[in-house]
Amino acid sequence: DTEGLLRIKEENQKHYRRAQRHQEKKEKIQRHNRKLGDLVEKKTYDLKTQYEHLANLRRSHILELTSVIFPIEEVKTSMRDPADVSSESDNAMTSSTVSKLAEARRTTYLSGRWVCDDHNGDTSISITGPWIILPNNGDYSAYYNWVEEKKTTQGPDMEHNNPAHTISAALCYATQLVNTLSLILDVNLPKKLCNRRVNTAFCGENLSRHRFTRAVKKLNANILHLCFSQHVNLDLLHPLHTLRNLMYLVSPDTENLGR
């Protein structure tokens, strides 16, 4: 029994010495982990600072781009509310008729259905200049109506102020701006509308209604994708308002522009 007790004591001493070595290793690993934690924290802070710097650079480039090359502005029109005009001409008009006229003014027949648009008739959005505008309610029917009319009409097109030309130019500029913004922001667009095909899609050959509508839908989808990536307020966006959504995206008031 005495010999067995001595063996057990020797084994316990070996285990104790081994436990001390393990404790030293544990403390060494803990010190190493603390150093790594401090290093990771510093690197994270540096990375966050670089992200902020990069966001500021992107923001400055975008604001310069949209102020010098692609300015987007809201163009006021001098149209009066039909309800107000009618009420002035007929003092006996009932309030229900006035409200119906106001509601009719805010409604547009677009692609086979009635669309409510509070900005209809009040403003338009211009790009690169006040003469290149798009309808605020997203009604581009003037383009494919002009294309269909041109197919049936003989002779050259002498209408220099044709709204179809303005719509085509505005959509072409909008597509170029969207592609440039995607490069600056490093955001992949869900729909492909490259600059080489822009000249064919909007500024080249006359498109049928189906092809034109498809191209516009791609452009609107890309714009909304960019707006979502920059955390633009969703209450401001509308799937049919091409230039208005772009205007909200590149606005200096957009806090997360460049993220």
Residue position matching structure tokens 């440039």: 180
pLDDT tier at 79 (50, 70, 90 boundaries)?
A: very low
Q: What is the pTM of this model?
A: 0.67
Residue 117 pLDDT more than 60? no
Torsion of CA 55, 56, 58, 61, to 10 degrees: 170
Q: How many Cβ atoms sit within 10 Å of the Cβ of residue 253?
A: 7
Q: Let me know: does 240 contact 136? Beta carbons within 8 Å.
A: no
pLDDT tier at 132 (50, 70, 90 boundaries)?
A: confident
pLDDT tier at 39 (50, 70, 90 boundaries)?
A: very high
How large is the greatest C-alpha to C-alpha distance in the chain, in angstroms?
123
Residue scoring higher pLDDT (73 or 145): 73
Q: What is the pLDDT of residues 235-258, one digit of tens each?
A: 888 888 989 999 999 988 888 888
Could you give the CA distance from residue 211 to residue 226 in angstroms, rounded to a whole number?
23
Residue 124 pLDDT more than 90? no
Spatial CA neighbour of 246 closest among 192, 158, 197, 182: 182
Mean pLDDT of 32-51: 93
Residue 148 pLDDT more than 80? no
Residue 147 pLDDT more than 80? no
Could you give the CA distance from residue 109 to residue 137 in angstroms, rounded to a whole number?
10
Q: Which residues pair with residue 127 across a beta bridge?
A: 72
Q: How many Cβ atoms sit within 10 Å of the Cβ of residue 257?
A: 21
Q: What is the pLDDT of residues 181-228, one digit of tens each?
A: 999 999 999 988 765 554 446 776 677 778 888 888 999 999 999 999
pLDDT tier at 77 (50, 70, 90 boundaries)?
A: low
